[in-house]
């Protein structure tokens, strides 16, 4: 079977796909790479891939002994992945150290594998050839037009980025939000807390940090606790430069996965702790 490959078309397709991958990679890594560097990276990757194709055509027909042939096939397969990807990363992001280069390269591999896997699944479902996609103008049975490939790649890239953003946001929420149990008397109430490094409210007398709880949580803990000692603590915010907050000492507060802290102080929030009601406690920075 004879196959004709137009190197200019191969370069253009690779450059377009590399530019799209680098654009998504820049978003995922929060990099400041400019469009010029993205274009340079796409051109470098496409040029490296085209050069490897030319080398394969020139030397691919040579025969080697069996052990050497297997080794060369493995080296060639690794080079087909590493050389264009390394050229893309070096030209687009200019990593400052080996660790940064490895991180960007591995993320690029992960992104390419995700996009390639999704595109292959779509091709198999549609009945297109998954090995070497024949780019034609008509797009007959079992064929995929170049325009369809570009649209499919764009949709796949947006899907991968959406999934990545969801995972990133979920990770940030796990780092910022904590599940806590507040204990007072015979009650042990569970609530979602925000670990707020900006909460530096302290009791002026004892110097202990004060975590802020919502009005609802305060009433559940201390609403009918007769004899509870209530303190008055001065506080200041942007909306309230000078205010007085009620505070009390409860039996304990436990953050999920940690030991219970005995007799912490909580303050009764004179404002909404969260706008949407997603959390009810602002943990002190000391916790």
pLDDT, tens digit (0-9, with 9 covering 90-100), for 105-120: 888 877 777 766 556 5
Average pLDDT over residues 263-279: 82
In a domain, 251, yes or no: yes
In a domain, 215, yes or no: yes
In a domain, 77, yes or no: yes
**68 in the same domain as 114:** yes
Percent of the chain clearing pLDDT 70 (strictly above): 66
Picking from 129, 147, 174, the residue at the C-terminal end of a domain is: 174
**214 in the same domain as 265:** yes
Residue that is written with structure tokens 């959390």 in the block: 279
**45 in the same domain as 111:** yes
Picking from 144, 174, 204, the residue at the C-terminal end of a domain is: 174
Q: C-alpha angle 210/212/213, rounded to 5°? A: 135
Average pLDDT over residues 244-259: 88
Q: How do 210-213 and 265-268 pair as beta strands?
A: parallel
**217 in the same domain as 100:** no
**123 in the same domain as 215:** no
Q: What DSSP string runs through 157-226?
A: HHHHHHHHHHHHHHHHHHHHEEEEEEEETTEEEEEEEEE-TT---B-TTT--BEEEE-HHHHHHHHTT-T
Q: What is the pLDDT of residue 135?
A: 39
**251 in the same domain as 206:** yes
The domain tally of the chain equals: 2
**261 in the same domain as 237:** yes
Kindly report the pTM of this predicted structure. 0.48
Domain that residue 112 falls in: 7-174
**130 in the same domain as 154:** yes
Average pLDDT over residues 177-181: 85
């Amino acid at each position: 079977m004879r196959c004709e490959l137009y190197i200019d078309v191969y370069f253009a397709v690779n450059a377009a796909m590399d530019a799209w991958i680098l654009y998504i990679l820049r978003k995922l890594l929060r990099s400041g790479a400019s469009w010029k560097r993205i274009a340079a990276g796409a051109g470098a990757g496409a040029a490296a891939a085209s050069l490897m194709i030319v080398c394969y055509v020139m030397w691919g027909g040579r025969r080697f002994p069996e052990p050497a042939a297997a080794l060369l096939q493995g080296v060639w397969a690794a080079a087909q992945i590493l050389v264009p990807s390394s050229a893309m990363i070096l030209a687009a992001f200019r990593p400052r150290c080996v660790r940064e280069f490895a991180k960007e390269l591995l993320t690029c591999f992960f992104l390419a594998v995700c996009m390639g896997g999704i595109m292959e699944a779509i091709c198999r479902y549609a009945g297109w050839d998954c090995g070497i996609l024949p780019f034609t103008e008509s797009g007959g049975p079992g064929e995929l037009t170049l325009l369809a490939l570009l649209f499919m790649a764009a949709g796949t890239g947006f899907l991968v980025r959406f999934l990545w953003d969801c995972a990133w946001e979920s990770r940030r929420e796990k780092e910022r939000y904590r599940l806590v149990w507040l204990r007072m008397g015979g009650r042990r109430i569970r609530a979602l807390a925000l670990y707020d490094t900006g909460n530096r409210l302290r009791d002026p007398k004892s110097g202990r940090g004060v975590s802020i709880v919502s009005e609802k949580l305060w009433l559940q803990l201390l609403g009918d606790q007769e004899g509870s000692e209530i303190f008055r603590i001065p506080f200041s915010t942007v909306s309230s430069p000078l205010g007085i907050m009620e505070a009390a000492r409860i039996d304990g507060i436990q953050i999920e996965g940690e030991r219970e802290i005995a007799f912490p102080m909580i303050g009764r929030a004179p404002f909404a702790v969260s706008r949407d009601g997603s959390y009810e406690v602002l943990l002190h920075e000391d916790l």
